[in-house]
Copies of this chain bind each other. A is one copy, B any other.
Amino acid sequence: MKDPESLVLDENCIPRRVLEIFCVKWTSMVLHAIHLHGGCCRTGVLQRTLPGISKKMLTQTLREMERDGMIARKVYPVVPPMVEYSLTPLGQLFIEPIEMLYAWGEEHADALKKITRRRKASASKRNLDGKADAKTQK
């Protein structure tokens, strides 16, 4: 505090690394979803649990998480194909903080709503402002 300049949060600091893991793509949501499904579930189920995620993004996210060692992929040699993803011990490590964060969100849903509302307000305002020329009119 005496020397603000000595406080540096560089690329390798813990906070940034944590964010790189929790905030990349759908990682957190996928972990959460698998957890809610009892620690193991199929691709299709995941996709329906996370409406809005595209097949491509889901596959990509799952691949990366597998590589990271957070989930395990098990293929059953049946037809039609069946693939199950489950949390590894490493993956389970992340459940606690994630659930903590979401629990905090539940408790403070009012604060979250407030922010959402402000964002929407400023978004619609932006439409009334200067955009009535280039794009909107088309």
Contacts and interface: CB of A to CB of B under 8 A. Distances in A.
A122 interface: yes
A62 to B, nearest CB: 14
25 contacts: A4-B41, A7-B49, A8-B49, A9-B29, A9-B32, A9-B33, A9-B49, A9-B50, A9-B51, A15-B29, A15-B32, A17-B105, A17-B112, A17-B116, A18-B101, A19-B23, A19-B28, A19-B29, A21-B112, A22-B23, A22-B101, A68-B118, A90-B114, A90-B115, A97-B104
For the complex of A and B, the 4 pairs showing the least CB-CB separation, nearest first, are A23-B23, A18-B105, A14-B105, A97-B104
Contacts of A93: 108, 111
The oligomer's copy count stands at 2
Interface string A1-43: 1001101111100111111011100001100110011100100
Chain A interface size, as a band, is 35 or more
Interface of A: 1, 4-5, 7-11, 14-19, 21-23, 28-29, 32-33, 36-38, 41, 45, 48-52, 67-70, 90, 93, 96-97, 100-102, 104-106, 108-109, 111-112, 114-116, 118-119, 122
